[in-house]
Structure 1
Amino acid sequence: MSGGRDDRLADAEAAAELEGPELIHAGYRRLERWRVTLPEAAGRGRIVQEREVLRAGPCVAALAVDVERDLLVLIRQFRLPAALATGKGDLVEVVAGRVEPGEAAEAAVVREIEEEAGITARKIVRLFDFLPTPGIVDESATLFLVSVDAADLPDHSGAAAENELTRPFAVTIDEAIESLSNPAPRNGYLLLALQWLALNRGQLRRLLAA
């Protein structure tokens, strides 16, 4: 406990010794190898691990809602790792993307809404940060609530300079939340966003009020 707060569920700094990185591959993302020495554990001594880390860096995601029409804006996008894992690479997703060097997270989510959904962000509210895959990727993501107008979604969008192709669409907020009861989507970003939406739907208008 710290100041009346229970810290058992809080992440904390680790007394680990890090050696590295050794560059394994420098492509779209850097792949590195690190040597980690953990503190002594009773009966086990010091534990030494070798770990590979894919460096992805900061990212943003958008829970894009049209509160006037009671709609949630999503996209479809091909994901090769998903296709390899499940045979279903045409994923339903929230708008998301990396934060460019020197770019603020708020600016990044506005840009991603324009690039991936082809619409304009009206207002953004920062919700929470999370680590999507901390076992192997250093990606640190921030989820934003974003107010949008879903009336004129394009058939397709995506950043041409990145050879990106997305297909925006909208569903009712009821439909989106109901999908959690028998989840068809498997994208972690989307499931986290839908869980937040299910818990906080009644606050949308207040949070997005001008």
Structure 2
Amino acid sequence: MSGYDERLADAEADAELEGPELLHDGYRRLERWRVTLPASGPRAEIEQNREVLRAGPCIGALLVDLERDALVLIRQFRAPAALATGKGDLVEIVAGRVEPGEDLEIAARRETMEETGLEAGRAVRLFDFMPSPGIADENAALFLVEVDSSKALEHAGAAEEREATRPFVVLIDDAIASLGDPRPRTAYLLLALQWLALNRDRLSTLLRG
């Protein structure tokens, strides 16, 4: 027994999936699936057509410098955000896709180097989450990673991916205080900062035992 209320846990669904029908295969693969939900109580059987963006496994990395009581975050342009809000220059934690067959922690270390120029110290897997399960199969693992923020680059990003990131350092106090700002932000960043606000006193234990 986990000790948690099982009503709050995701579970397997009594549903049929037929497909996929490939709609687009570019930066991301887009598929259409036919979904059948069986009759339940007074509700008759339901059939649905659903488009699924296949993003696959991803990681997020909250980079912490214990010596300076600081975080390393990045700025990166995101076209969907620019279209949705007019503000495409987003503040983010390090994040990225996991390569086929790649270990999740290795992916977190690789993305840390690519997006900030920093070598990852100890990395601890915190929890998994799905940012947008209504449209994408993206399943993300969030890591806590120790770094030396003094060595962060001003400009970074994987050249082969034509990626452009701008790392910057922020005090943990200021990052947590920003949770009171109601302006839109990315789910990865909000989840990481909310975890940090609840677990700040555990950072040294988690990263240095």
Q: TM-score, normalised by structure 2?
A: 0.97
Task: Tell me the residue number matched to 1:67.
Answer: 66
Return 5+ residue gaps in structure 1 as ranges.
Answer: none
**What residue in structure 2 maps to residue 77 of structure 1?**
76
Which secondary structure state, in structure 2, belongs to the residue aligned with residue 92 of structure 1?
strand
Aligned to 1:100: 99
**How many angstroms does 1:4 deviate by?**
6.1
- 1:87 paired residue number: 86
Counterpart in 1 of 2:189? 190
Change (3 A) 1:182 1:18: same
Deviations 1:75-132 (A, max 9, x none): 0000000000000000000000000001000000000000001111011000000000
Instruction: Spell out the pairing of 1:16-35 with structure 2 (5 A cutoff).
Output: 16-35=15-34
* Cα drift, residue 5 of structure 1: 4.7
Superimposed CA distance per residue, residues 150-180 of structure 1 (whole angstroms, 9 cap, x where no aligned partner): 0122110000000000000010000000000
Q: Which amino acid aligns with 1:75?
A: I
Measured against aligned partners, the alpha-carbon deviations of 1:179-207 in whole angstroms (never above 9, x if no partner) come to: 00124451110000000000000000111
For structure 2, the 5+ residue unaligned runs are none
Give the equivalent residue in structure 2 for 1:170. 169
**What secondary structure, in the 3-state scheme, does the structure 2 residue paired with 1:208 have?**
helix
Query: Aligned partners of 1:4, 1:122: CA distance in 2, in Å?
Result: 32
Secondary structure of 2:80's aligned partner: helix
8 Å CA contact 1:128, 1:144 repeated in 2: yes
Paired with 1:37 and 1:200, the residues of 2 have a C-alpha distance of 42
**Pairing of 1:5-154 with structure 2 (within 5 A):** 5-154=4-153
| Cα offset, 1:6, TM superposition | 2.3
State the shift of 1:43 in Å.
2.8
Within 2, Cα distance between the matches of 1:175 and 1:33? 43
SS at match of 1:133: coil
* d(CA) in 1 for partners of 2:28, 2:91: 23
Instruction: Assess, with a 3 A threshold, how the Cα gap between structure 1 residues 3 and 64 changes in structure 2: closer, same or farther.
Output: closer
Deviation at 1:41, TM superposition (A): 2.6
TM-score (structure 1 length as normaliser): 0.96
- Whole-Å separation in 2 of the counterparts to 1:91 and 1:120: 23
Q: CA RMSD in A?
A: 1.3
Which AA in structure 1 matches 2:201? Answer: G
Displacement over 3 Å in runs of 4+: 2-5
